[in-house]
């Protein structure tokens, strides 16, 4: 729990959204928000909320992260894919062909 709290605090504090809050006050705000969100898990429908959070935080988020990595690799930084192809060849000895490149770029 402490590591997750510290990760959220670091991201929020470093983003500059809370320039006027000190770290202890930011910790109090984040803990309060987490406490309020956690209250739904102790209601009669808590297990249903838990299953909903569990599904969307594990499955959907991983899919979105993988999709954004593919989009970033193929569209945002165009020369990154050439480096990726070189690293794949060095690691596996298999060259990524034109077909797979087209599939990654246009089908994904």
Rounded CA-CA distance 2/29 in Å is: 15
| Tens digits of residue pLDDT in 14-47 | 888 888 888 899 899 999 998 998 899 999 999 9
0.75 surpassed by pTM: no
Q: How confident is the model at residue 108 (pLDDT cuts 50, 70, 90)?
A: low
Alpha helix locations (H) across the chain? 2-15, 23-38, 46-55, 61-71, 80-92, 98-102
């Amino acid at each position: 729990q402490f590591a997750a709290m510290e990760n959220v605090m670091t991201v929020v504090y470093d983003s500059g959204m809370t320039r006027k809050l000190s770290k202890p006050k930011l910790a109090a705000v984040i803990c309060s928000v987490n406490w309020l969100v956690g209250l739904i898990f102790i209601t009669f429908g808590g297990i249903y909320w838990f299953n909903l959070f569990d599904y969307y935080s594990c499955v959907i988020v991983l899919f979105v992260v993988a999709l954004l990595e593919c989009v970033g690799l193929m569209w945002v930084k165009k020369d990154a894919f050439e480096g990726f192809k070189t690293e794949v060849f060095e690691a596996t000895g298999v060259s990524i062909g034109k077909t797979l490149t087209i599939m990654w770029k246009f089908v994904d």
